[in-house]
Structure 1
Amino acid sequence: DAQTTSVSPTSTHSPDHPDTNADRRRFNATGERVLRCTLCNQRLEDTHFVQCPSVPAHKFCFPCSRNSIKKQCTGQDLYCPSGEKCPLVSSVMPWAFMQSEIATILGEEYEEFKRQREAAGLGAPGATAQQTQQNTQ
């Protein structure tokens, strides 16, 4: 299914669904739309936030995304920072971060994250999700 890989969770180009995004978008004093993190409600910067490809209202700042990834460190796959296993469009498989996305979000902390996973007997994060997505194309 080509749709499972067509959306990057770090993309800021999500469909504008007024009903589902209304609670995440606020207008500031100048009438400009302001995106807010689903978890901490902080204002999201232009391109530095994570968009869940499954749920348009799930938008997360990098600090909340980083914390979520660290908390899920010992899981086989790392899912949406909301804590939900949000299913991909036209699939029962939940969306999970890919290794490159995790590396981008964690930045300098990525090497330590990999060591923790290796110590727990786990491979590269996102490998299962990447293989599943490739197999469904």
Structure 2
Amino acid sequence: MRAFKRLTSIFTNRTAMPAEPSRLRRLLNPWGAMRAHRDTTVVALTIAADIVGNLEDELTVLRSAADDLADLLNDGMLASDIGERLTCGEVERLAGFLKAHDHGRAAAMWLECHAEGDDEGDSHYMGEKSQLALTA
């Protein structure tokens, strides 16, 4: 009986397991490693899904604002007043923006209004075509 008590005391006085499993324990229990990998993958995918959801909301707001701006710029009076004062690069970017938002006619209008103020040698200069468009 005493021998049994001595043996039980040996088994009951073990120190606690370390917080991180040892390398040997991971090798002996591959399912635990797979479970840990699965858990971290689930966490990473959850974070990624949240980020994508937030970006979709922001993208919707930005697209709405860009469409509103494109509608605002689709104005002949505004184009004729400002078009001549823009540089060729600025009007090209503006026309590209309008084309990207399905306002191709507005983009052509801005380019034409800009070309009226261009001098010979500028990239949008139309020569007599501009003068004919003004008289017609």
| Greater C-alpha radius of gyration | 2
Q: Whose relative contact order is higher, 1 or 2, with alpha carbons under 8 Å and at least 6 apart?
A: 1
More helix by share: 2
Task: Classify the TM-score, shorter chain.
Answer: under 0.3
Using the size of structure 2 for normalisation, the TM-score is: 0.27
The structure with more strand, counted as a fraction of residues:
1
